[in-house]
A and B are shown apart, each in its own frame.
Chain A
Amino acid sequence: MELNFTPVRTARNYGINSITLNLEDIKSAKNNNFCKKNLQKLENFPNFEFLGENIELEDNCLLSNTNFLCNELKDEAEKFSNFKKTAKIYKSSDKLVKFRFNLDTNESNLIDTFNLTIEEDVNSKIIVEFISKEKLACYQNLNFKINAKNGSNAEIIFVFDLFDSSTNLVSIQSEVEKNAKLSVFIVDFACKNSIFNYNSKLIGENSESNLNSLYLSGEGSTIDLNYLIELYKPNCKTNMEVIGAISNQSKKHFKGTIDFKKGCKKSRGNENEYCMVLSKNAKAKALPMMLCEEENVEGTHSTSIGIVDEKELFYIMSRGLSRTQAIRLIVKAKFNSMILSIFDEELRNKIIEYIDRKII
């Protein structure tokens, strides 16, 4: 199946317009009961936890979210969803809001539709976690929608920590209204297929939408990131920062687009991507797009590849560290400023610990 299409196509042989996965095989291999051969609705997802206050949580999701990866996944979500929720944060709170999904032997499939609204003038900090602690191939088809109402200010961190052999198909969309600010942070401890789509529309004046994305590949991950920020109204602002490291046989496709629509006068957009290539078999592709049909804007993007500098490595090793320890140190140093921008200390430590665990 072809999914995660770029907003504008380019030459087919560049191999970046979309990615092809055989989802039926993936699902059959898990011997699960929702592959084509054996169509059955999954049981309601059992391991969902929630923490926080000033939230209205409903067990349904009336709005049907678009799946920006492909229509087939939308159909799947409509027919086989085992988790649907609508959440409204109606009042500011100092307390963190947390949603946690634990995938385990009980249920390793999660087809979820989640609609989150940050009401007018509400400030909120939210963490949404997807975790599998067991050594188990999971499957997720996530359809997440965020509505940031007028004057709201929200920081939302998504953490994906599924076991290496999992397939994680993520579509997150957001709409940001007038004077609202939304910062989304995607942390991905990448599994076998880590396919992400983030689509953010700045539909109100003076709105701001930021995206931070951090990934670390597993043994042989396919990481396909397709991020699109569309600016429609005057004085909008966006900043996209993407940083990651790939090792072993992993490959990464980054497709990041800032689209200045006609009428987004005095808007500004910036996009930076940095990828550390840690092994000679890893492959990094990037397509940092900028589309512009408005004169009065400032848009910039940059992308670069980082390699481990041998001199730097030698210097650190001369201070008594092993080569691996030295590489970990360099990766941590490169990731440092993004890690520090995470408001949750537990998560900061988890990322650092993950770097130590993964770079061997």
Chain B
Amino acid sequence: MPKTQIEDLNTNIYDFKNEDNFEFKIQKGLTKDIVEEISRQKNEPEWVLEIRLKALEMYNKLDMPTWGPDLSELNMDEIATYVKPKSKLNSDWNDVPEEIKNTFDKLGIPQAERQYLAGVGAQYDSEVVYHSIKEELLKQGVIYTDFDSAIKQYPEIIKEYFSKCVPISDHKFIALHYAVFSGGSFVYVPKNVKLEMPLQSYFRLNSPESGQFEHTLIIVDEGASLHFIEGCSAPKYNKVNLHAGCVELFVKENGYLRYSTIENWSKNMMNLNTKKAIIEKNGKVDWVSGSFGSHISMLYPMSILKGDNSQTEFTGISFAGAGQNLDTGFKVVHMGKNTSSVVSSKSISKSGGISTYRSLVSILPNATGSKCSVSCDGLMLDSNSRSDTIPVNNVENDETEFSHEARVGKISEKAIFYLMTHGLTEADAKAMIVRGFANPVSKELPMEYAVEMNRLINLELEGGIG
């Protein structure tokens, strides 16, 4: 039987370019002058510039990673780290310049806001162009604003938390981030406030040969609860674009945060993103992550289970097609007693795509009574591709339950035959199995995003989406 092709991900609906119209685009490269100029453009307090300069020094000192995908295509001299769009920050879509508004219309953001979001932030290149939150949440003391405004409006909180979860010295690209960061969101959910509807920030990089370095800082206070969604996309250019964002999450006692990401960067993007959560007593963070786009990704969200009884779950999928090297995974450090983590990771490799699951589970001496279970599945759709599993597990006490299991292989011939005896073509059958494979992630997403993800895995069956 000849092999049928499963289509590469159809990212066309994201691949529309606006002209590289900007109010200001900094010269390419990374120097002290450039960093100072960004700071001047942003008109920010002195202490922020100090952090930027310290970070730049760190960046120059730190080595490139000695592991993972080859990053030699990335040349910082060819990247403009700051592109200010022709728009101010608005709280009404009607005030957003038409071209930019159209972009977000096509991405479905204003519509999603009307239907099921409690607040929306939209970043275009280096600056946030729209931010809004429902009135009643404001009354409850919820803060959801762009990061630049937060620095000015809530300097004490920002100083207390900024770079305290992800330190400047973590790795070379986080140092880069702190040197040139711009945009992003700040969220504060006060004690015992539980948001029923999610907040969403969307990041769009339009400008070629540029980078996006947004900083997201979320504090979920005691007993509070939040679902935060992050979306990202970019049109495809021939030269390398860079994304080196940073996400810092603080979840206090009994707090809950669900952090969902659908990442669909264009295939010329280097996605070197850093996300970390610090979770206090009885708190919980659930990560849901879908990685579809980018040329190269190095993305390993991390949970620090600091407080006793804190918990985390990670559910992720990555789909590596032609020209993609997706090196993704999860890191968790168990520090508190009776902490628990559950990791479920799936990957699909096709048309020469490389997917790597890379992880760390570390259970420290004091984290007695902890539990961790990890499961990863790699699906190979042809023999031109690669699927690697590189999980490091470190257990430092004798009162821990730990298990890890992984599988790699192809779609079962028997399952394809079974489905074909029920009238499905071979392509339909494979598509159904692949969709089923991705289901643990899509079912964790809000309905609309699950639909979106299924569209992303453009493997539709007649009669709609599973």
Direct A–B contact present (CB less than 8 angstroms): yes
Counting chain A CB atoms within 10 Å of each CB, the highest count among B358, B395, B396, B400 belongs to B395
Q: Does A286 contact B (CB under 8 A)?
A: yes
Residue in A closest to B387 when the chains form the complex, CB atoms: A292
Smallest distance from the beta carbon of A199 to chain B beta carbons, Å? 18
Give the interface of A toward B (CB within 8 A).
8-12, 14-17, 260, 262, 265, 277-280, 282-305, 307-308
Q: How far is the CA of A302 from the CA of B404 in the complex (A)?
A: 5
Check if A280 sits within 8 Å of B389, measured CB to CB: no
Known pairs A287-B390, A290-B388, A305-B401 / 17 extra A-B pairs, C-beta < 8 Å:
A8-B67, A10-B67, A11-B360, A278-B398, A286-B393, A288-B391, A294-B380, A295-B380, A295-B382, A297-B380, A297-B408, A300-B406, A301-B404, A303-B393, A303-B403, A305-B395, A307-B401
Query: Shortest 6 CB-CB distances between A and B: which pairs?
Result: A9-B67, A305-B402, A302-B405, A304-B403, A299-B408, A295-B380
For chain B, residues 363 to 414, give those with C-beta under 8 angstroms from any C-beta of chain A. 365, 378, 380-383, 385-410
Q: How far is the CA of A300 from the CA of B387 in the complex (A)?
A: 13
Residue in B closest to A299 when the chains form the complex, CB atoms: B408
Residue in B closest to A307 when the chains form the complex, CB atoms: B398
With A283-B394, A283-B396, A295-B381 in contact, is A288–B404 under 8 Å at CB? yes
Check if A285 sits within 8 Å of B392, measured CB to CB: yes
Q: Does B466 contact A (CB under 8 A)?
A: no
Residue in B closest to A272 when the chains form the complex, CB atoms: B405
Q: How far is the CA of A303 from the CA of B396 in the complex (A)?
A: 15
With A9-B66, A277-B395, A305-B401 in contact, is A292–B408 under 8 Å at CB? yes
Chain B residues whose CB sits within 8 angstroms of the CB of A8 once the complex forms: 67, 388, 390
Q: How far is the CA of A154 from the CA of B409 in the complex (A)?
A: 29
With A280-B365, A296-B383 in contact, is A14–B392 under 8 Å at CB? yes
Chain A residues whose CB sits within 8 angstroms of the CB of B381 once the complex forms: 295
With A282-B398, A298-B409, A300-B406 in contact, is A16–B392 under 8 Å at CB? yes
For chain B, residues 197 to 235, give those with C-beta under 8 angstroms from any C-beta of chain A. none
Chain A residues whose CB sits within 8 angstroms of the CB of B397 once the complex forms: 277, 280
- In-complex Cβ contact of A283 among B383, B392, B395 (8 A): B395
Chain A residues whose CB sits within 8 angstroms of the CB of B380 once the complex forms: 292, 294-295, 297
Check if B407 sits within 8 Å of A300, measured CB to CB: yes
Q: Count of B residues near A, CB < 8 Å?
A: 38
Q: How far is the CA of A138 from the CA of B118 in the complex (A)?
A: 69
Chain A residues whose CB sits within 8 angstroms of the CB of B393 once the complex forms: 284-288, 303
Residue in B closest to A274 when the chains form the complex, CB atoms: B403
Q: How far is the CA of A288 from the CA of B404 in the complex (A)?
A: 9
Smallest distance from the beta carbon of A259 to chain B beta carbons, Å? 9
Check if A295 sits within 8 Å of B410, measured CB to CB: yes
Counting chain B CB atoms within 10 Å of each CB, the highest count among A12, A292, A301, A302 belongs to A292
Q: Does B45 contact A (CB under 8 A)?
A: no
Q: Does B65 contact A (CB under 8 A)?
A: yes
Chain B residues whose CB sits within 8 angstroms of the CB of A286 once the complex forms: 392-394, 404
Smallest distance from the beta carbon of B363 to chain A beta carbons, Å? 8
Chain B residues whose CB sits within 8 angstroms of the CB of A299 once the complex forms: 406-409
Q: How far is the CA of A271 from the CA of B344 in the complex (A)?
A: 19
Smallest distance from the beta carbon of B355 to chain A beta carbons, Å? 10
Smallest distance from the beta carbon of A176 to chain B beta carbons, Å? 21
Smallest distance from the beta carbon of B364 to chain A beta carbons, Å? 10
For chain B, residues 12 to 26, give those with C-beta under 8 angstroms from any C-beta of chain A. none
Q: How far is the CA of A103 from the CA of B217 in the complex (A)?
A: 62
Check if B407 sits within 8 Å of A284, measured CB to CB: no
Chain B residues whose CB sits within 8 angstroms of the CB of A300 once the complex forms: 405-408
- In-complex Cβ contact of A296 among B390, B399, B410 (8 A): B410
Chain A residues whose CB sits within 8 angstroms of the CB of B396 once the complex forms: 283-284
Residue in B closest to A301 when the chains form the complex, CB atoms: B406
Q: How far is the CA of A305 from the CA of B385 in the complex (A)?
A: 32
Chain B residues whose CB sits within 8 angstroms of the CB of A279 once the complex forms: 398
Check if B65 sits within 8 Å of A11, measured CB to CB: yes
Chain A residues whose CB sits within 8 angstroms of the CB of B406 once the complex forms: 288, 290, 299-302
For chain B, residues 57 to 116, give those with C-beta under 8 angstroms from any C-beta of chain A. 65-68
Smallest distance from the beta carbon of B329 to chain A beta carbons, Å? 10
Cβ contacts B336-367/A at 8 Å (1 or 0 each): 00000000000000000000001010000100
Residue in B closest to A279 when the chains form the complex, CB atoms: B398
17 contacts between A and B (CB under 8 A): A11-B358, A11-B360, A265-B383, A280-B365, A284-B396, A288-B389, A288-B393, A290-B389, A295-B382, A295-B383, A298-B408, A301-B389, A301-B404, A302-B405, A304-B403, A305-B400, A307-B398
Chain B residues whose CB sits within 8 angstroms of the CB of A287 once the complex forms: 390-393
Check if A293 sits within 8 Å of B386, measured CB to CB: yes
Smallest distance from the beta carbon of B321 to chain A beta carbons, Å? 15
Chain A residues whose CB sits within 8 angstroms of the CB of B391 once the complex forms: 287-289
Chain A residues whose CB sits within 8 angstroms of the CB of B67 once the complex forms: 8-12, 17
Smallest distance from the beta carbon of A268 to chain B beta carbons, Å? 9
Q: How far is the CA of A137 from the CA of B395 in the complex (A)?
A: 29
Smallest distance from the beta carbon of A11 to chain B beta carbons, Å? 6
Check if A292 sits within 8 Å of B401, measured CB to CB: no
Check if B388 sits within 8 Å of A294, measured CB to CB: no
Q: How far is the CA of A297 from the CA of B387 in the complex (A)?
A: 12
